[in-house]
Structure 1
């Protein structure tokens, strides 16, 4: 049984009553030698979880849970970043926090960790439970204005960064949805299982944040953008202009050109309204056809099977789940996981028609086979939301991708920026458009720093995760080609690390059950590979 922290009188305690003064007591929580570099030691003081981190002869104390989803910060989560110095990384969603100031250094969190007072006395660590007040950034650019177009992760990250770094000018956010920016990945991971009334995804920035930071939210459809005047017009005739315009309008689901695609019962999943429709219309007694073979398809299949619905996936690939990125070995275990849970696959045919008069009744394949169903869910990819853009931007096509080409600072042209699913940028000479949630936040943060005139920071290697039938897999990499996969661990038991090789170089990692390792890889991919992957995998 652990020894309870011993209270030690701190130097700042006054004679005031407890309701007038914070608790200045310092608690003896550990021996200095028990706090090891590279490790995060978690302690509990008066029901507060606090993480201890050692850097040389110093010990720092920050909040012990990630503010995003409450992940415990303990174990091998202390890293040294070439850009940010000593940091702690969330094992679940890879938010990166400074050890000394607790501030968010990289998404996905939108709140800093509290920092607690620490004293080292005769080889013991004494920690207080009243956080040290964080100083606000000095106000800047108070006469400037920013328009943020779109209501997703990139937009939220840009707004948070602007205010966190001291931007004192006006900010207007324009989006089509009534909700503030929310956790969109939760939509495909089963949030609709509780029924339409339960489809309430967590907000990235709540109403109180917008009110406190004096940010104006506008709901409306953008119909045009005048880049020279930096002015947008909405469908109802309202117009807004600013010194800086960030285009972060994201993507929208692609619908294939098929007879019957407009029938009732054909659905896509993009926003809260779609998730509520799925929750309301699809019951456990119905049969659903999913068209597509990517991660959204598989996450939907997992959630619908847990609801009890019959699920069939129609995809052209013989091995589902992004074989081009994940390889045949990992694709097979995912396909087996789904098959074991009752998901049926058709991988040697494609849909040529959706059958029915007004309501979906089934689908027809190119070999003539007809499969009955009550609903069809299409998840074959997204296309950038860019129909409001002028002809000189947003019509670019690079490596088969369409979107808005930006420079290394997320700038399209002076005063115009883009981030998230709409942005195409160069990485090592190759054009990329990365459609992942954390990456969108990183790009939004980068665009905000450019607006603020702050120095550019290197783009971290993209990371994303998926959860299906209770199994979580993580990917980190640029999605480039590979010629072999080396796997360490138990692939079938979902406890492994897979290294994707191109020649002698590790270009990506996929893992299950290795969240702390992937957290370290998210901070410095090359350093992690050099120190940890080559000795255990390669």
Structure 2
């Protein structure tokens, strides 16, 4: 790989940018807004493929060179405010010139600032630019974007599920001009929110602080006239495109998007219904964990996946004693990330006081009314105050008629969709509940960004827009302050090539199937993974094979 450290691409102005051209200047460009332009940088300072960050009137501005021209956009990602600087200007086969957020891989157009791929739910402001004698002049007020043309005013969309896929679909529909009726049905009282925050320690601040950021704020729903309904879907008549709720209410629409996600699986164990046995799915669960588990208690975690590991990290930081019981995962994430990366995770948790049991399984949970401990298959009993179960999710699809509610051929437990995210005419599915086809077979990806990608794809199908290729899935985890990123389809691999230092969490690992790179895992290489998220094959060819393959 060609990089181990990347430049900041950031320029701090020692003095206030000098106003050069004003509205009365004789050589002012009449195509620009009627505003003063400021000299912010030299054209030669902006390198091909890089973003130069400057400050103009206390605003962060990202400067990007496109051929002989320069573009100026907002300098922070609209999702979480990540600074856009360094090697984040990419060429997408689908979207052309784009900027990619290094944190969560939102893809934003350089020409218009609009969202091209999630996870952002608003675009970047675009500022007027003029080049004069090798200098870059930028206005401090954004260019007003032309409104999108309204379409499908007489049609309606019914979105089932209050998660990331549904929010992404709603945002895309309105962003692309859908002017018809939109109804969102979810079983929580709040609109869709940042669900990954729940397992990453949001409950450490106490139950009153357990409120993740909304994906779309209340003003969005009001301004865009999105009707929100709280309720649980009981049945869906696909032919009539009619939904019935468990309280008898029913709704009908021209298009129905099933984005009901999944719910935590609960193994059939004696004592599984005791008080103190917890799972984590929504904000209510997170508040219960925050209220009931204190720093002086002992917790047993059943499961060895990312949710279990993130919960272990958060609970240990709270002070609780944590034991993970995962006989199928003796080395955490080994099946997905390989033994080498799995072992550094194991060491990270062990160094922070997490105990692992991998040579036996839980066969029961004991206690009178409340949990008192777990019994293992080797006869040992481990006392504890709480048991957290994190053994995967089951798609919420029981309201669908068979065979739609039963997957296909028993291979995947989700709803099989076509390339347009369509189940049948007028009925779509996206997110954790959706299963789609790839060359290697059926595939269901249970990750937050992927759910938003699929929700956007379903919305584009409803709008009749051209299908876009599905980007390679990306996800991330943060445990004990260490962030690890993955990009890939979860395909099997037979070797792992690693560049960097695993122990210091500064590395890039390439997962090989024969001579083909099928996935990447990294730590400390955020902008490299951003480029890979936009063009995986191109990134591998340019920046992986040349040095480690």
What range describes the TM-score normalised by the shorter chain of this pair?
A: over 0.9
Match of 2:488 in 1: 477
Q: CA RMSD in A?
A: 1.3
Q: Distance in 2 between matches of 1:367 and 1:375?
A: 21
* Deviation digits for residues 160-188 of structure 1 (CA, Å, limit 9, x no counterpart): 00000000000000010001000000000
Q: Which residue of 1 aligns with 2:526?
A: 515
1:44 has 2:55 as partner: yes
Structure 1 counterpart SS, 2:414: strand
Instruction: Give the 4+ runs in structure 1 shifted more than 6 A.
Output: none
Asked if 1:237 is matched to 2:248, the reply is yes
The residue that corresponds to 1:288 in the other structure is 299
**Aligned position for 1:302:** 313
Normalised by the length of structure 2, the TM-score is 0.95
Query: Secondary structure of 1:360's partner?
Result: coil
1:307-329 Cα offsets, whole Å, 9 max, x none, are 00000000013533321111100
Identify the residue that residue 174 of structure 1 maps to in structure 2: 185
- Cα distance between partner residues in 1 of 2:72 and 2:20: 16
Say if 2:107 is the partner of 1:114.
no
Per the alignment, do residues 430 and 10 of structure 1 end up closer, same or farther by CA in structure 2, a change over 3 Å counting? farther
1:260 and 2:260 equivalent? no
* Secondary structure in structure 2 of the residue aligned to 1:311: strand
Contact 2:54–2:61, Cα closer than 8 Å, also in 1: yes
- CA distance in 2 between partners of 1:489 and 1:128 (Å): 42
- Residue 331 of structure 2 corresponds to 320
Q: Indicate whether 1:5 and 2:17 are aligned.
A: yes
Matched ranges for 1:361-510 at <5 A: 361-397=372-408, 400-510=411-521
d(CA) in 1 for partners of 2:508, 2:277: 38
Paired position in structure 2 for 1:83: 94
Q: Name the SS of the counterpart of 1:402 in structure 2.
A: coil
| DSSP-derived class of the 1:173 partner | strand
Q: 1:159 aligns with which of 163, 170, 174?
A: 170
**Counterpart secondary structure, 1:460:** coil
Do the aligned partners of 2:304 and 2:329 also contact (CA within 8 Å) in 1? no
How far apart are the structure 2 equivalents of 1:264 and 1:12?
74
Residues 261-286 of structure 1: per-residue CA shift (max 9 Å, x gap): 00000000000000000000000000
Aligned to 1:19: none
> Structure 1 residues 136, 12: closer, same or farther in 2, change over 3 A?
farther
How far apart in 1 are the matches of 2:271 and 2:25? Answer: 73
Give the whole-Å Cα distance in 2 for the aligned partners of 1:463 and 1:220. 31
Deviation of residue 418 (structure 1)? 0.3
Q: How many aligned positions are there?
A: 531
Mapped to 2, the partners of 1:82 and 1:301 lie a distance apart of: 40
Structure 2 residue runs of 5 or longer lacking an equivalent are: 1-12, 27-32
Mapped to 1, the partners of 2:424 and 2:350 lie a distance apart of 49
Query: For residues 177-200 of structure 1, what are the alpha-carbon distances to aligned partners after superposition, in whole Å with 9 as ceiling and x for unaligned?
Result: 001000000000000000100001
Contact 2:477 2:483 in 1 (8 A): yes
* 1:145 corresponds to 2:152: no
CA contact (8 A) 2:100 2:107 kept: yes
Give 1:397 deviation, angstroms: 3.8
Q: Partners of 1:291 and 1:400 in 2: how far apart? A: 25
Match of 2:30 in 1: none
Deviations 1:361-381 (A, max 9, x none): 000000001100000000000
Distance 1:47 1:505, change over 3 A: same
Unaligned runs of 5+ in 1: 15-21
How far off its partner does 1:206 sit? Answer: 1.0
In the superposition, the TM-score normalised over structure 1's length comes to 0.97
* Alpha carbons 1:12, 1:24 under 8 Å: kept: no
* Deviation (angstroms), 1:23: 8.2
- Give deviations 1:251-305, integer Å, cap 9, x for gaps: 0000000000000000000000000000000000000000000000000000000
SS in 2 for 1:132: coil
Give distance in 2, aligned partners of 1:181 and 1:13.
49
